[in-house]
Amino acid sequence: MHPLSQFKFCPKCGSDKFIENNVKSKRCKNCGFVYYFNSCAATVAVIINENKELLVATRAHEPVKGTLDLPGGFVDLHETGEEAMSREVKEETGLDVDEIKYLFSVPNIYIYSGFEVHTLDLVYLCKIKDTHVLKAEDDVAKLEFIKVSELNPDLFGLLSIKEVIQKIQKMTI
């Protein structure tokens, strides 16, 4: 199925003559507009305390409600990955990020309202000075620190986060 199959009308002129152009775009036969389907940027926080424990969230909402996750979310317009990471950590945990270091990226497909959103998850190591204000907020039901060596990737609901956990377990951070 074409990634833009759910888009029936041209976003520029509204024509219903919005057809497949190639594997990642659609073209309007009416006005000629070509729309490319690109990944959305998202962030993932790796927050490890002095006991080599990773801050893990439990998802409060679908998709994959009730499974484990890491703090993070979508990058807003006109926002850098680092700004998004700091904002998302604050929104979901109440914590202020002191230092951010880019680690790696992982592609993902995130189902939102029944729609496949292709993302590129930017993974950052986040340093926090004060974890005493830790509080599950926004779309997080629960927060806990779990030893990196004891993490089970199968308990994480999103495919990209499972991959992040596997990579973190092989790294020395």
Domains and CATH numbers, the chain: 1-37 (no CATH), 40-170 (3.90.79.10)
pTM: 0.91
Give the model confidence (pLDDT) of 70-101 as tens digits: 999 999 999 999 999 999 999 999 999 999 99
What is the rounded CA–CA span in Å between residue 37 and residue 169? 33
Contact between residue 10 and residue 30 where contact means Cβ atoms under 8 Å apart:
yes
Give the model confidence (pLDDT) of 114-161 as tens digits: 888 899 999 999 999 888 889 999 999 999 999 999 999 999 999 999
